[in-house]
Structure 1
Amino acid sequence: MNMQPQSGTPREVIVIGKILVDLIRTLELIESDIAAEEKRAGISDRSVVKYPMLARTLIERRDNIKMTIAALEERERAKHEQAATAA
């Protein structure tokens, strides 16, 4: 009978790390797009009524990605701790 690790922790840590790299790169691209849209519109103050809708949408997406990154970093940290206590 094959004895496999119960939680697949090492594999999960690798997968989480790869996802984090992709999300951080996406975050950088979105922030660049926000800056470009603000420059194009000549408005960087979000309280202005004419602030670009595209920039608003990108900001919401950026904020959601930041929350996802934080959650994944916490999960990755927990997996590292779990692996350390199991060893």
Structure 2
Amino acid sequence: MRQSHRAVQALALAAAGTPNGEIAVRLGTSEDMAKKFIQRACRALGAANRVQAVVLALVRGVLVLDAGGVGRGPTSLRDARRVVSS
């Protein structure tokens, strides 16, 4: 479950245009791990790349736009899989 939460955090940062290196710094992990978080988000959402993953996450409510930019929505990545399959 923690990894799913981290994947959503990484995807929210990617949605704000944050490069993988900066995502890694903000999440306190390696750049390779940041890439893996983005890959997991893509796989869970059925996206071919990070841009498509961000769009799908916004459309499906996994990420939400707020006054400060992009934030994490009320669902986890695990819940996103349920939305995708419905």
Structure 2 length as normaliser, TM-score? Answer: 0.31
Relative contact order, higher structure (CA 8 A, sep 6+): 1
Which is richer in strand? 2
| Structure ID, larger Rg | 1
Structure 1 length as normaliser, TM-score? Answer: 0.31
Which is richer in helix? 1
